[in-house]
């Protein structure tokens, strides 16, 4: 209920009053549906008290504003009308997009956009393709783990996955996908002042702290400020294409509305051509 709820003293009461703030009164009818069925007596009282307290505070603030603003400042009809028009337009455009926007974006479209706009896709961070395993120092089979995480053999990969699901505290085995190097560094106690140099000079990394071993096999990397790979930008490009389609659909609708009104003589412009004077 808004802060304007309640009636002034001069108005006829419709039910029992619940609270009064200045010249505004909150009646029982205003809150009779506030408490959901089945609510305990204790919770009902608490809910009503909280509502009434909020109502009083809001009403007092609006009354204070009414007293201290001049008539021009209090005239919000234009702002409300502008907001209403903007809101209605937004809802209509949203419904239009929902009904008519083609949301299927093919890989060919994504690749074509990427190839035509490569300058837009510059890496802001270092990215890597990696195998990563974090395991407790007390875990069994560490020697086998060291063999498996280094290997590209399919059987060894299966053994590695099985081991990680049983004993690893954390792991990442999808070396076909790109990750932000900074995200990985949050998981591994690697100290380096030059991340780019570290990536260029390391492929297999094994570090430990007091509790865990960390194993890292870097399969590929790209340095920040270089071209971002298509696979890393795929979802971003899809969203760009969809947004362009959305804007085109809305602009087309606006032009169609204008053309329809023009063709049906629904537009009249009442401006004198002053250049003829």
Q: Does residue 215 have a pLDDT over 50?
A: yes
Q: Domain spans of the chain?
A: 7-75, 76-120+229-277, 123-222
Q: Does residue 199 have a pLDDT over 90?
A: yes
pLDDT of residue 274: 55
**In a 3-state reduction of DSSP, which class is residue 180?**
strand
CA dist 259 and 231 (Å) reads 42
What phi and psi values does residue 46 have, to the nearest 5 degrees? -65, -45
Q: ∠242-247-248 over CA atoms, to 5°?
A: 95
Task: Please report which confidence band the pLDDT of residue 270 belongs to, taking 50, 70 and 90 as the band edges.
Answer: confident
Whole-Å CA distances, 181 to 130, 190, 193: 9, 11, 14
Helices (H), the chain: 28-31, 41-68, 71-74, 77-100, 107-116, 142-150, 154-167, 181-185, 195-201, 230-263
End-to-end Cα, the chain, rounded Å: 58
pLDDT of residue 192: 87
CA dist 209 and 213 (Å) reads 7
pLDDT of residue 272: 66
pLDDT of residue 184: 93
CA dist 218 and 198 (Å) reads 11
Residue 168 makes CB contacts below 8 A (sequence gap 6+) with 133, 134, 135, 139
pLDDT of residue 271: 76
Among 9, 50, 45, CA closest to 27: 9
pLDDT of residue 4: 42
CB-based contact 24:7 (threshold 8 Å): yes
Q: Can you tell me the mean pLDDT for 186-193?
A: 89
Among 43, 69, 54, 68, CA closest to 21: 54
CA dist 277 and 275 (Å) reads 6
Q: pLDDT tens, 146-179? A: 999 999 999 999 999 999 999 999 999 999 999 9
pTM for the complete prediction? 0.67
Q: pLDDT tens, 12-62? A: 445 789 899 988 999 988 888 888 888 888 888 898 899 999 999 999 998
CA dist 175 and 218 (Å) reads 8
123-222: CATH architecture: Roll (3.10)
Task: Please report which confidence band the pLDDT of residue 273 belongs to, taking 50, 70 and 90 as the band edges.
Answer: low
CB-based contact 146:206 (threshold 8 Å): yes
pLDDT of residue 182: 94
Among 166, 174, 218, CA closest to 196: 218
**In whole numbers, what is the pLDDT of the chain averaged over residues?**
89
Q: pLDDT tens, 52-99? A: 999 999 999 988 988 888 888 888 888 899 999 999 999 999 999 999
Q: Does residue 10 have a pLDDT over 70?
A: no
């Amino acid at each position: 209920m808004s802060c304007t709820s309640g009636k002034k003293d001069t108005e006829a009461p419709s039910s029992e009053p619940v609270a009064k703030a200045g010249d505004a009164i909150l009646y029982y009818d205003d809150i009779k549906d506030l408490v959901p069925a089945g609510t305990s007596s204790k919770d009902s009282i608490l809910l009503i008290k909280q509502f009434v307290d909020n109502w009083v505070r809001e009403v007092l603030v609006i009354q204070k504003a009414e007293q201290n603003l001049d008539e021009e400042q209090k005239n919000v009809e234009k702002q409300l009308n502008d907001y209403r028009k903007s809101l209605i337009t937004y809802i209509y455009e949203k419904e239009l997009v929902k009904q008519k926007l083609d949301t299927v974006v093919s890989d060919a479209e994504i690749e074509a956009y990427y190839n035509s706009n490569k300058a837009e896709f510059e890496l802001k961070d270092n990215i890597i393709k990696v195998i990563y395993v974090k395991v407790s120092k007390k875990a069994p089979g560490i020697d086998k783990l060291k063999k498996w995480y280094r290997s590209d053999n399919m059987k060894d990969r299966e053994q590695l996955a099985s081991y990680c699901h049983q004993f690893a505290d954390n792991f990442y085995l999808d070396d076909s996908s790109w990750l932000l190097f900074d995200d990985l560094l949050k998981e591994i106690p690697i100290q380096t002042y030059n991340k780019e140099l570290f990536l260029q000079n390391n492929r297999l990394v094994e570090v430990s702290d007091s509790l865990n071993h960390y194993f890292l096999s870097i399969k590929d990397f790209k340095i920040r400020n270089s071209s971002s790979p298509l696979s890393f930008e795929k979802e971003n490009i899809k969203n760009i294409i969809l947004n362009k389609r959305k804007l085109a659909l809305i602009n087309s609708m606006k032009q169609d509305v204008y053309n329809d009104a023009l063709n049906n003589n629904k537009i009249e412009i009442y401006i004198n051509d002053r250049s003829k004077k």
